[in-house]
Structure 1
Amino acid sequence: CQERPRTSPNKKPAPPLLPRRHRRQPPDPGKKEPAPGEAKAEEEMVGAPSSPVVNVYPLANYTFGTKEAKMEKDTSVADRLARMKVNYMKEGMRTSVEAILLVQEHNHPHILLLQIGNTFCKLPGGRLKPGESGEFLVAQLFYHISLIWYHHESLAVHSCDWNPAEIEGLKRKLCSKLAVNSPSFPPNWQVGECVAEWWRPNFETVMYPYCPPHITKPKECKKLFIVHLTEREYFAVPRNLKLLAVPLFELYDNVQRYGPVISTIPQQ
Protein backbone atom coordinates (compact mmCIF):
# COMPACT_ATOMS: atom_id res chain seq x y z
CA CYS A 1 0.00 0.00 0.00
CA GLN A 2 1.06 3.60 -0.64
CA GLU A 3 2.29 5.63 2.31
CA ARG A 4 0.38 8.92 2.99
CA PRO A 5 2.55 12.08 3.00
CA ARG A 6 3.31 13.52 6.37
CA THR A 7 2.11 17.05 7.15
CA SER A 8 3.30 19.39 9.84
CA PRO A 9 0.72 20.00 12.59
CA ASN A 10 1.31 23.79 12.36
CA LYS A 11 0.95 24.01 8.59
CA LYS A 12 -2.51 24.92 7.26
CA PRO A 13 -3.90 22.96 4.36
CA ALA A 14 -3.98 24.68 0.98
CA PRO A 15 -7.40 26.14 -0.01
CA PRO A 16 -9.24 24.36 -2.79
CA LEU A 17 -8.88 25.70 -6.27
CA LEU A 18 -11.74 27.95 -7.42
CA PRO A 19 -13.42 27.44 -10.77
CA ARG A 20 -11.92 29.43 -13.60
CA ARG A 21 -14.80 31.91 -13.73
CA HIS A 22 -14.25 32.83 -10.04
CA ARG A 23 -10.50 33.25 -10.24
CA ARG A 24 -9.11 36.76 -10.09
CA GLN A 25 -7.81 37.77 -13.48
CA PRO A 26 -4.58 39.72 -13.84
CA PRO A 27 -5.08 43.47 -14.44
CA ASP A 28 -5.25 44.63 -18.03
CA PRO A 29 -2.43 47.17 -18.64
CA GLY A 30 -4.49 48.95 -21.31
CA LYS A 31 -7.62 49.35 -19.15
CA LYS A 32 -7.99 52.46 -16.98
CA GLU A 33 -8.89 51.71 -13.38
CA PRO A 34 -11.88 53.76 -12.07
CA ALA A 35 -11.55 55.95 -9.03
CA PRO A 36 -12.83 54.50 -5.73
CA GLY A 37 -15.90 56.76 -5.68
CA GLU A 38 -16.72 56.14 -9.33
CA ALA A 39 -16.72 52.36 -8.92
CA LYS A 40 -19.17 52.54 -6.02
CA ALA A 41 -21.47 54.96 -7.83
CA GLU A 42 -21.49 52.73 -10.90
CA GLU A 43 -22.46 49.71 -8.79
CA GLU A 44 -25.35 51.65 -7.23
CA MET A 45 -26.64 52.81 -10.61
CA VAL A 46 -26.76 49.34 -12.12
CA GLY A 47 -30.23 47.92 -11.71
CA ALA A 48 -31.67 51.09 -10.16
CA PRO A 49 -35.18 51.88 -11.48
CA SER A 50 -35.40 55.09 -13.46
CA SER A 51 -38.19 57.44 -12.38
CA PRO A 52 -39.44 60.51 -14.27
CA VAL A 53 -38.59 63.90 -12.83
CA VAL A 54 -41.26 66.60 -12.49
CA ASN A 55 -39.95 70.14 -12.25
CA VAL A 56 -42.21 72.30 -10.07
CA TYR A 57 -41.92 76.09 -10.31
CA PRO A 58 -43.33 78.84 -8.05
CA LEU A 59 -46.90 79.92 -8.58
CA ALA A 60 -45.74 83.53 -8.93
CA ASN A 61 -43.99 82.64 -12.20
CA TYR A 62 -47.32 82.17 -13.99
CA THR A 63 -49.70 84.79 -15.36
CA PHE A 64 -53.46 84.28 -15.09
CA GLY A 65 -56.19 86.01 -17.07
CA THR A 66 -59.81 85.44 -18.08
CA LYS A 67 -61.69 84.65 -21.27
CA GLU A 68 -65.24 83.94 -22.40
CA ALA A 69 -67.33 81.67 -20.21
CA LYS A 70 -67.59 77.92 -20.84
CA MET A 71 -71.06 76.77 -19.92
CA GLU A 72 -71.53 73.27 -18.56
CA LYS A 73 -73.68 70.88 -20.61
CA ASP A 74 -75.40 69.47 -17.52
CA THR A 75 -76.99 71.29 -14.62
CA SER A 76 -76.97 68.34 -12.22
CA VAL A 77 -75.30 64.96 -11.67
CA ALA A 78 -78.48 63.15 -12.72
CA ASP A 79 -78.49 65.00 -16.06
CA ARG A 80 -74.85 64.12 -16.65
CA LEU A 81 -75.44 60.42 -15.99
CA ALA A 82 -78.50 60.44 -18.26
CA ARG A 83 -76.51 62.05 -21.07
CA MET A 84 -73.71 59.53 -20.51
CA LYS A 85 -76.20 56.68 -20.95
CA VAL A 86 -77.47 58.13 -24.23
CA ASN A 87 -73.92 58.59 -25.56
CA TYR A 88 -73.01 55.06 -24.48
CA MET A 89 -75.79 53.62 -26.63
CA LYS A 90 -74.40 55.54 -29.62
CA GLU A 91 -70.61 55.50 -29.14
CA GLY A 92 -69.81 52.85 -26.54
CA MET A 93 -67.58 53.34 -23.51
CA ARG A 94 -66.75 56.90 -22.58
CA THR A 95 -63.04 57.81 -22.40
CA SER A 96 -62.00 60.94 -20.54
CA VAL A 97 -58.59 62.44 -19.82
CA GLU A 98 -57.57 64.88 -17.11
CA ALA A 99 -54.37 66.81 -16.37
CA ILE A 100 -52.38 67.11 -13.14
CA LEU A 101 -50.68 70.54 -13.18
CA LEU A 102 -48.19 71.06 -10.35
CA VAL A 103 -46.91 74.37 -9.00
CA GLN A 104 -45.04 75.37 -5.86
CA GLU A 105 -46.24 77.66 -3.09
CA HIS A 106 -44.80 77.99 0.43
CA ASN A 107 -42.23 75.28 -0.42
CA HIS A 108 -44.98 72.73 -0.98
CA PRO A 109 -46.48 71.24 -4.18
CA HIS A 110 -49.93 72.49 -5.20
CA ILE A 111 -52.32 71.16 -7.86
CA LEU A 112 -54.34 73.46 -10.12
CA LEU A 113 -58.07 72.72 -9.95
CA LEU A 114 -61.03 74.30 -11.70
CA GLN A 115 -63.85 75.28 -9.34
CA ILE A 116 -67.44 75.36 -10.58
CA GLY A 117 -69.73 77.34 -8.29
CA ASN A 118 -68.73 77.31 -4.65
CA THR A 119 -68.19 73.63 -3.89
CA PHE A 120 -67.41 71.44 -6.92
CA CYS A 121 -63.78 71.13 -8.07
CA LYS A 122 -62.33 69.13 -10.96
CA LEU A 123 -59.11 68.60 -12.86
CA PRO A 124 -58.71 70.30 -16.25
CA GLY A 125 -59.73 67.91 -19.02
CA GLY A 126 -62.84 66.22 -20.32
CA ARG A 127 -64.34 63.60 -22.59
CA LEU A 128 -62.57 62.49 -25.75
CA LYS A 129 -64.26 62.39 -29.10
CA PRO A 130 -64.99 58.94 -30.60
CA GLY A 131 -61.99 59.23 -32.96
CA GLU A 132 -59.68 60.25 -30.10
CA SER A 133 -60.32 57.22 -27.90
CA GLY A 134 -57.99 54.27 -27.96
CA GLU A 135 -60.36 51.67 -29.42
CA PHE A 136 -59.95 52.80 -33.03
CA LEU A 137 -56.17 53.14 -32.69
CA VAL A 138 -55.88 49.73 -31.05
CA ALA A 139 -57.54 48.14 -34.07
CA GLN A 140 -55.07 49.93 -36.37
CA LEU A 141 -52.18 48.97 -34.10
CA PHE A 142 -52.99 45.27 -34.23
CA TYR A 143 -53.27 45.47 -38.01
CA HIS A 144 -49.78 46.99 -38.34
CA ILE A 145 -48.36 44.62 -35.73
CA SER A 146 -49.63 41.67 -37.74
CA LEU A 147 -47.80 43.01 -40.80
CA ILE A 148 -44.62 43.55 -38.80
CA TRP A 149 -44.87 40.06 -37.31
CA TYR A 150 -45.31 38.59 -40.77
CA HIS A 151 -42.06 40.13 -42.00
CA HIS A 152 -40.08 39.96 -38.71
CA GLU A 153 -41.14 36.98 -36.64
CA SER A 154 -38.58 37.66 -33.89
CA LEU A 155 -39.65 41.28 -33.26
CA ALA A 156 -41.01 41.89 -29.76
CA VAL A 157 -43.79 44.48 -29.50
CA HIS A 158 -44.53 46.03 -26.12
CA SER A 159 -47.91 47.56 -25.27
CA CYS A 160 -48.25 51.04 -23.77
CA ASP A 161 -50.73 52.68 -21.42
CA TRP A 162 -51.64 55.57 -23.71
CA ASN A 163 -51.82 56.46 -27.36
CA PRO A 164 -51.12 59.65 -29.33
CA ALA A 165 -54.83 60.32 -29.87
CA GLU A 166 -55.44 60.57 -26.12
CA ILE A 167 -52.51 62.97 -25.77
CA GLU A 168 -53.84 65.20 -28.54
CA GLY A 169 -57.31 65.05 -27.02
CA LEU A 170 -55.98 66.19 -23.66
CA LYS A 171 -54.12 69.07 -25.30
CA ARG A 172 -57.35 70.10 -27.03
CA LYS A 173 -59.18 70.12 -23.69
CA LEU A 174 -56.43 72.12 -22.01
CA CYS A 175 -56.52 74.71 -24.78
CA SER A 176 -60.27 75.02 -24.33
CA LYS A 177 -60.08 75.40 -20.54
CA LEU A 178 -56.79 77.21 -19.87
CA ALA A 179 -55.08 78.48 -23.04
CA VAL A 180 -54.93 82.13 -24.08
CA ASN A 181 -56.84 82.86 -27.28
CA SER A 182 -53.98 84.75 -28.86
CA PRO A 183 -51.26 83.73 -31.33
CA SER A 184 -48.78 85.73 -29.25
CA PHE A 185 -49.03 83.15 -26.43
CA PRO A 186 -49.09 79.71 -28.05
CA PRO A 187 -49.65 76.87 -25.53
CA ASN A 188 -46.86 74.40 -24.89
CA TRP A 189 -48.53 71.43 -23.22
CA GLN A 190 -45.96 68.76 -22.39
CA VAL A 191 -48.09 65.74 -21.53
CA GLY A 192 -46.12 63.20 -19.55
CA GLU A 193 -46.88 59.99 -17.71
CA CYS A 194 -50.26 58.39 -17.20
CA VAL A 195 -50.37 58.00 -13.40
CA ALA A 196 -53.87 56.60 -12.81
CA GLU A 197 -56.86 54.94 -14.46
CA TRP A 198 -60.36 55.04 -13.00
CA TRP A 199 -63.29 52.93 -14.17
CA ARG A 200 -67.03 53.47 -13.97
CA PRO A 201 -68.79 50.06 -14.00
CA ASN A 202 -72.35 51.41 -14.23
CA PHE A 203 -74.22 54.64 -14.84
CA GLU A 204 -73.52 55.79 -11.28
CA THR A 205 -71.18 58.20 -9.56
CA VAL A 206 -69.03 55.40 -8.09
CA MET A 207 -65.65 54.86 -9.78
CA TYR A 208 -62.83 52.45 -8.97
CA PRO A 209 -59.04 52.61 -9.62
CA TYR A 210 -59.41 49.25 -11.39
CA CYS A 211 -61.97 47.53 -13.58
CA PRO A 212 -63.82 44.88 -11.53
CA PRO A 213 -63.30 41.43 -13.06
CA HIS A 214 -67.02 40.74 -13.39
CA ILE A 215 -67.58 43.93 -15.41
CA THR A 216 -67.23 43.16 -19.12
CA LYS A 217 -68.70 46.41 -20.43
CA PRO A 218 -67.54 49.37 -18.32
CA LYS A 219 -69.24 52.67 -18.99
CA GLU A 220 -66.24 55.00 -18.62
CA CYS A 221 -62.46 54.96 -18.36
CA LYS A 222 -60.79 58.06 -16.93
CA LYS A 223 -57.02 58.57 -17.29
CA LEU A 224 -54.93 61.06 -15.34
CA PHE A 225 -51.76 62.46 -16.92
CA ILE A 226 -48.92 64.52 -15.50
CA VAL A 227 -48.53 67.70 -17.57
CA HIS A 228 -45.07 69.23 -17.21
CA LEU A 229 -45.23 73.01 -16.97
CA THR A 230 -42.40 75.21 -18.12
CA GLU A 231 -40.93 77.94 -15.95
CA ARG A 232 -43.22 80.60 -17.47
CA GLU A 233 -46.79 80.07 -18.65
CA TYR A 234 -49.85 82.18 -19.47
CA PHE A 235 -53.29 80.89 -18.49
CA ALA A 236 -56.73 82.19 -19.40
CA VAL A 237 -59.59 80.87 -17.25
CA PRO A 238 -63.25 81.04 -18.34
CA ARG A 239 -65.13 83.75 -16.43
CA ASN A 240 -67.59 81.32 -14.88
CA LEU A 241 -64.78 79.18 -13.43
CA LYS A 242 -62.08 79.70 -10.81
CA LEU A 243 -58.57 78.29 -10.93
CA LEU A 244 -57.37 77.23 -7.49
CA ALA A 245 -53.95 76.06 -6.32
CA VAL A 246 -54.66 73.43 -3.68
CA PRO A 247 -51.83 71.94 -1.58
CA LEU A 248 -51.32 68.21 -1.53
CA PHE A 249 -51.84 67.95 2.23
CA GLU A 250 -55.35 69.36 1.82
CA LEU A 251 -56.21 66.87 -0.91
CA TYR A 252 -54.92 63.85 0.97
CA ASP A 253 -57.80 61.61 2.10
CA ASN A 254 -60.28 64.49 1.76
CA VAL A 255 -62.91 62.48 -0.10
CA GLN A 256 -65.87 64.52 1.08
CA ARG A 257 -64.48 67.74 -0.36
CA TYR A 258 -62.71 66.60 -3.54
CA GLY A 259 -64.00 63.10 -4.29
CA PRO A 260 -62.07 59.81 -4.53
CA VAL A 261 -60.17 60.63 -7.74
CA ILE A 262 -58.57 63.92 -6.66
CA SER A 263 -58.09 62.98 -2.99
CA THR A 264 -55.89 59.99 -3.91
CA ILE A 265 -53.48 61.95 -6.14
CA PRO A 266 -50.97 62.50 -3.27
CA GLN A 267 -50.68 58.71 -2.95
CA GLN A 268 -49.84 58.12 -6.63
Structure 2
Amino acid sequence: MPIKHHSAEKVDLLPVHKFSFHNTTTQPEEDSSVAERMRRLQDQYDETGMRRSVDAVILVHDHGVPCVLTTQIANDFFKLPGGYLDPSEDEETGLIRHLDDLLGAGTKQWRAEGPHWNIHCLLAVWYRPNFDGFFYPYKPAHVSQPKECKKIYLVTMPEQMVGVPLNMKLLAIPIHEFYDNTQRYGPQLSAIPHMLSR
Protein backbone atom coordinates (compact mmCIF):
# COMPACT_ATOMS: atom_id res chain seq x y z
CA MET A 1 0.00 0.00 0.00
CA PRO A 2 1.57 3.35 -1.00
CA ILE A 3 1.97 5.90 1.78
CA LYS A 4 -0.32 8.91 1.42
CA HIS A 5 1.35 12.32 1.40
CA HIS A 6 -1.56 14.15 2.93
CA SER A 7 -4.57 12.85 4.74
CA ALA A 8 -7.65 14.25 6.43
CA GLU A 9 -8.66 10.77 7.60
CA LYS A 10 -9.79 10.15 11.14
CA VAL A 11 -7.09 8.44 13.19
CA ASP A 12 -8.20 6.29 16.12
CA LEU A 13 -5.75 6.21 19.02
CA LEU A 14 -5.51 3.34 21.47
CA PRO A 15 -4.77 4.03 25.14
CA VAL A 16 -1.32 3.12 26.40
CA HIS A 17 -2.77 0.50 28.78
CA LYS A 18 -3.91 -1.57 25.76
CA PHE A 19 -0.26 -2.42 25.00
CA SER A 20 1.98 -4.78 26.91
CA PHE A 21 5.66 -3.88 27.16
CA HIS A 22 8.65 -6.12 27.78
CA ASN A 23 12.42 -5.75 27.56
CA THR A 24 14.28 -7.08 24.55
CA THR A 25 18.00 -7.10 23.80
CA THR A 26 20.25 -4.05 23.90
CA GLN A 27 19.94 -1.86 20.80
CA PRO A 28 23.47 -1.13 19.54
CA GLU A 29 24.46 2.46 18.85
CA GLU A 30 26.18 2.71 15.47
CA ASP A 31 28.28 5.73 16.42
CA SER A 32 29.91 6.67 19.70
CA SER A 33 29.98 10.41 18.95
CA VAL A 34 28.48 13.05 16.65
CA ALA A 35 31.85 13.45 14.91
CA GLU A 36 31.95 9.71 14.17
CA ARG A 37 28.37 9.84 12.84
CA MET A 38 29.30 12.71 10.50
CA ARG A 39 32.37 10.83 9.24
CA ARG A 40 30.19 7.81 8.48
CA LEU A 41 27.65 10.06 6.73
CA GLN A 42 30.39 11.49 4.54
CA ASP A 43 31.70 8.02 3.67
CA GLN A 44 28.19 6.86 2.76
CA TYR A 45 27.56 10.01 0.74
CA ASP A 46 30.73 9.38 -1.28
CA GLU A 47 29.51 5.82 -1.99
CA THR A 48 25.77 6.15 -2.58
CA GLY A 49 24.85 9.86 -2.57
CA MET A 50 22.28 11.50 -0.30
CA ARG A 51 21.32 9.38 2.67
CA ARG A 52 17.60 8.77 3.22
CA SER A 53 16.06 8.14 6.61
CA VAL A 54 12.57 7.67 8.04
CA ASP A 55 11.06 8.31 11.48
CA ALA A 56 7.66 7.53 12.98
CA VAL A 57 5.40 9.75 15.06
CA ILE A 58 3.54 6.91 16.84
CA LEU A 59 0.34 8.24 18.39
CA VAL A 60 -1.41 6.76 21.43
CA HIS A 61 -3.31 8.34 24.30
CA ASP A 62 -2.95 8.26 28.05
CA HIS A 63 -6.10 9.12 30.06
CA GLY A 64 -7.50 10.88 26.99
CA VAL A 65 -4.36 12.97 26.36
CA PRO A 66 -2.78 12.38 22.91
CA CYS A 67 0.83 11.25 23.25
CA VAL A 68 3.78 10.37 21.03
CA LEU A 69 5.94 7.31 21.75
CA THR A 70 9.60 8.28 21.88
CA THR A 71 12.74 6.45 22.87
CA GLN A 72 15.05 7.96 25.45
CA ILE A 73 18.73 7.19 25.52
CA ALA A 74 21.03 7.89 28.48
CA ASN A 75 18.19 9.62 30.37
CA ASP A 76 18.42 12.80 28.31
CA PHE A 77 18.39 12.16 24.54
CA PHE A 78 14.95 11.74 22.95
CA LYS A 79 14.43 10.18 19.54
CA LEU A 80 11.58 9.11 17.29
CA PRO A 81 11.66 5.44 16.26
CA GLY A 82 13.15 4.99 12.79
CA GLY A 83 16.47 4.95 11.02
CA TYR A 84 18.41 4.96 7.76
CA LEU A 85 17.17 3.35 4.56
CA ASP A 86 19.21 1.01 2.41
CA PRO A 87 19.95 2.65 -0.98
CA SER A 88 17.37 0.53 -2.85
CA GLU A 89 14.79 0.32 -0.03
CA ASP A 90 11.41 2.07 -0.29
CA GLU A 91 10.23 4.21 2.60
CA GLU A 92 7.35 2.05 3.85
CA THR A 93 9.43 -1.15 3.83
CA GLY A 94 12.32 0.61 5.59
CA LEU A 95 10.13 2.22 8.23
CA ILE A 96 8.43 -1.10 9.04
CA ARG A 97 11.83 -2.81 9.22
CA HIS A 98 13.13 -0.24 11.71
CA LEU A 99 9.97 -0.36 13.84
CA ASP A 100 10.13 -4.17 13.90
CA ASP A 101 13.83 -4.10 14.85
CA LEU A 102 13.43 -1.48 17.57
CA LEU A 103 9.98 -2.12 19.06
CA GLY A 104 9.08 -5.59 17.82
CA ALA A 105 8.42 -8.20 20.47
CA GLY A 106 10.99 -10.45 18.83
CA THR A 107 9.05 -13.73 19.04
CA LYS A 108 8.03 -16.07 16.22
CA GLN A 109 4.39 -15.67 17.19
CA TRP A 110 4.67 -11.86 17.09
CA ARG A 111 6.30 -11.93 13.66
CA ALA A 112 3.59 -14.25 12.33
CA GLU A 113 0.72 -12.16 13.68
CA GLY A 114 1.29 -8.83 11.78
CA PRO A 115 0.61 -6.26 10.60
CA HIS A 116 1.93 -4.33 13.59
CA TRP A 117 2.08 -0.76 12.25
CA ASN A 118 -0.49 1.42 10.51
CA ILE A 119 1.37 3.99 8.42
CA HIS A 120 -0.99 6.86 7.66
CA CYS A 121 0.68 9.81 5.91
CA LEU A 122 3.81 11.87 5.46
CA LEU A 123 3.98 14.63 8.09
CA ALA A 124 7.24 16.40 7.26
CA VAL A 125 10.46 16.30 5.24
CA TRP A 126 13.69 17.55 6.82
CA TYR A 127 17.02 18.11 5.06
CA ARG A 128 20.60 18.03 6.30
CA PRO A 129 22.44 20.45 3.97
CA ASN A 130 25.99 19.72 5.18
CA PHE A 131 28.04 17.16 7.06
CA ASP A 132 26.96 18.47 10.46
CA GLY A 133 24.13 17.95 12.93
CA PHE A 134 21.71 20.54 11.57
CA PHE A 135 18.44 19.60 9.86
CA TYR A 136 15.99 22.07 8.31
CA PRO A 137 12.25 21.54 7.61
CA TYR A 138 12.85 22.63 4.00
CA LYS A 139 15.55 22.31 1.38
CA PRO A 140 17.64 25.51 1.52
CA ALA A 141 17.64 27.27 -1.86
CA HIS A 142 21.43 27.59 -1.94
CA VAL A 143 21.98 23.84 -1.37
CA SER A 144 21.95 21.81 -4.57
CA GLN A 145 22.88 18.47 -2.99
CA PRO A 146 21.66 17.88 0.58
CA LYS A 147 23.56 15.22 2.49
CA GLU A 148 20.47 13.61 4.04
CA CYS A 149 16.70 13.66 3.60
CA LYS A 150 14.56 12.55 6.56
CA LYS A 151 10.84 11.84 6.16
CA ILE A 152 8.57 11.68 9.19
CA TYR A 153 5.36 9.63 9.03
CA LEU A 154 2.26 9.38 11.18
CA VAL A 155 1.93 5.84 12.58
CA THR A 156 -0.55 4.09 14.88
CA MET A 157 -0.49 0.55 16.26
CA PRO A 158 -3.10 -2.12 16.83
CA GLU A 159 -3.26 -3.57 20.35
CA GLN A 160 -0.11 -5.64 20.73
CA MET A 161 3.04 -6.45 22.68
CA VAL A 162 5.82 -3.88 22.28
CA GLY A 163 9.51 -4.59 22.84
CA VAL A 164 11.71 -2.06 24.63
CA PRO A 165 15.51 -2.34 24.19
CA LEU A 166 17.34 -2.80 27.50
CA ASN A 167 19.44 0.34 27.01
CA MET A 168 16.46 2.61 26.22
CA LYS A 169 13.26 3.88 27.77
CA LEU A 170 10.01 4.10 25.81
CA LEU A 171 8.02 7.16 26.87
CA ALA A 172 4.53 8.33 25.94
CA ILE A 173 5.01 12.11 25.91
CA PRO A 174 1.91 14.36 25.67
CA ILE A 175 1.90 16.29 22.41
CA HIS A 176 1.63 19.65 24.18
CA GLU A 177 4.95 18.97 25.98
CA PHE A 178 6.82 19.32 22.67
CA TYR A 179 5.44 22.74 21.75
CA ASP A 180 8.08 25.49 21.81
CA ASN A 181 10.46 23.19 23.70
CA THR A 182 13.50 22.89 21.42
CA GLN A 183 15.88 23.12 24.36
CA ARG A 184 14.65 19.78 25.75
CA TYR A 185 13.51 17.92 22.63
CA GLY A 186 15.34 19.50 19.68
CA PRO A 187 13.81 21.12 16.59
CA GLN A 188 12.26 18.03 15.00
CA LEU A 189 10.36 16.78 18.05
CA SER A 190 9.33 20.28 19.10
CA ALA A 191 7.77 20.69 15.63
CA ILE A 192 5.42 17.70 16.16
CA PRO A 193 2.41 19.84 17.26
CA HIS A 194 2.75 21.87 14.03
CA MET A 195 3.07 18.71 11.92
CA LEU A 196 -0.04 17.17 13.45
CA SER A 197 -2.09 20.38 13.29
CA ARG A 198 -2.04 20.15 9.49
**Which letter does structure 2 place at the counterpart of 1:193?**
C
Runs of 4+ in 1 over 3 A off after TM superposition: none
Residue in 1 that maps onto 2:99: 174
1:184 is aligned to 2:109 = yes
Q: Percent identity?
A: 43
Residue correspondence of structure 1 range 1-268 to structure 2 within 5 A: 51-132=8-89, 165-186=90-111, 187=114, 188-230=116-158, 232-268=159-195
User: C-alpha displacement at 1:183, in angstroms?
Assistant: 2.1
CA RMSD of aligned residues (A): 1.4
User: C-alpha displacement at 1:265, in angstroms?
Assistant: 0.5
Report the Cα distance in structure 1 between the residues aligned to 2:39 and 2:106, rounded to whole angstroms: 32
- Structure 2 portions without partners, runs of 5+: 1-6
Report the Cα distance in structure 1 between the residues aligned to 2:126 and 2:57, rounded to whole angstroms: 14
Find the residue that maps to 2:131 and give its secondary structure.
coil
Residue in 2 that maps onto 1:40: none
Structure of greater Rg: 1
Report the Cα distance in structure 2 between the residues aligned to 1:258 and 1:76, rounded to whole angstroms: 18
Find the residue that maps to 1:56 and give its secondary structure.
coil
User: C-alpha displacement at 1:228, in angstroms?
Assistant: 2.2
| Contact 2:125 2:137 (C-alpha < 8 Å) held by counterparts | yes
Report the Cα distance in structure 1 between the residues aligned to 2:125 and 2:77, rounded to whole angstroms: 21
Report the Cα distance in structure 2 between the residues aligned to 1:168 and 1:192, rounded to whole angstroms: 14
Find the residue that maps to 1:86 and give its secondary structure.
helix
Higher relative contact order (CA 8 A, sep 6+): 2
**Which letter does structure 2 place at the counterpart of 1:213?**
A
Please list the CA deviations of residues 13-68 of structure 1 after superposition, one character each: whole Å capped at 9, or x if unmatched: xxxxxxxxxxxxxxxxxxxxxxxxxxxxxxxxxxxxx7121111111010001111
**Which letter does structure 2 place at the counterpart of 1:84?**
L
Find the residue that maps to 2:108 and give its secondary structure.
coil
User: C-alpha displacement at 1:217, in angstroms?
Assistant: 0.5
User: C-alpha displacement at 1:106, in angstroms?
Assistant: 2.6
How many correspondences in the alignment? 187
- Structure 1 portions without partners, runs of 5+: 1-49, 133-164
Report the Cα distance in structure 1 between the residues aligned to 2:9 and 2:49, rounded to whole angstroms: 34
Please list the CA deviations of residues 186-210 of structure 1 after superposition, one character each: whole Å capped at 9, or x if unmatched: 3422211011000011011111111
Q: TM-score, normalised by structure 1?
A: 0.68
Report the Cα distance in structure 2 between the residues aligned to 1:54 and 1:60, rounded to whole angstroms: 18
